[in-house]
Amino acid sequence: MELSKQVQPENKTSNLPKRSIPFRELLSLLTKSKSALIGGIFVLIVLFCAIFAPIIATHDPYEMDMSNRLLTPMEDGHILGTDQYGRDLFTRIIYGARVSLEVGLVSVVLAMVIGVTLGLISGYYGGWVDTIIMRIVDIFLSFPVLLLAIALVAALGPGIENVILALGFVYWTNYARIVRANVLSVKEEEYIQAAKTIGSNNFRIIFYNILPNCLAPIVVVATLGLGTAIVSEATLSFLGLGIQPPESSWGWALAFGMKFIREAPHLSIYPGLAIMFTVLGFNLLGDGIRDLTDSKLKRN
């Protein structure tokens, strides 16, 4: 008696090669890079100060006391002294971390959404679509980024919302170029061709098959871009085009401190150190992630 063999239905999707996503391995690899580890600690400290600012702050950030103006650090209960209006400088710097991180994070997300979307479309479809998008990128890159941001904020008006829009609008080109380059190398892979063969639509191929393999460089650019965005916000505020008083901003603190640089240098030193500390943290973290992902790709 012959035993009949049951033929199982073929699962077409199972034949697709499984691609490893470098982003999933980043967290486990961070501890192997001293640069990423130190940068991550710096960033966590700034995030902690921004989130728990009402608990950490020792005074009201908007409370003015002209009888205690320009106090030196550790004088009369003020850890970092007071500014020209008698406001506690330590509290103002702690609350300034909230503004800087808000502008940095939101502007980077906005730039990422614009740049990644256009980069995916440009790299995947190619042809005249790619030509148009890349010529737009070339036009944006022909202008100095900071000057373009200053022009946009001057046209829109000062304020946190306009600063975010301006920074997001000028920094999207980095994401578009990097994502396009990755898409051009990924879209010819066998698993992409197999996905087309089984009838997957373009939307699914772009966002479910191609995009996950572009996450590692996107994370690196976004991490480095956070430091750049924070410096740009401080620059705009320093010039009077960014965050407006009485909101606490590191750039405004630097601008006001310049007027008292001889009699009260701490007004400029501590906001400058806060900017340096934060930007250094993001740059070290971004460099560490980039080194880790590059070494991982080379081993593969």
Domains of the chain and any CATH numbers:
22-54+88-299 (1.10.3720.10)
**Is the confidence at residue 165, as pLDDT, over 90?**
yes
> Residue 299: what pLDDT?
53
Regarding predicted confidence, which is higher, 148 or 18?
A: 148
| Chain segment 242-262, per-residue pLDDT in tens | 888 888 889 888 888 888 888
Encode pLDDT of 1-35 as tens digits: 444 444 444 444 434 444 444 445 555 666 677 78
Average pLDDT, the chain: 83
Please give the average per-residue pLDDT across 191-212, as a whole number. Answer: 81
pLDDT in tens, 79-119: 888 888 889 899 999 999 999 999 999 999 999 999 999 99
- What is the reported pTM? 0.82
The answer to whether residues 281 and 49 touch, using CB atoms and an 8 Å cutoff, is no
- Who's near 235: CB < 8 A, 6+ residues apart? 146, 242, 251
For 45-98, the DSSP string reads: HHHHHHHTHHHH-SS-TT---GGGTTPPTTBTTBTT-B-TTS-BHHHHHHHHHH
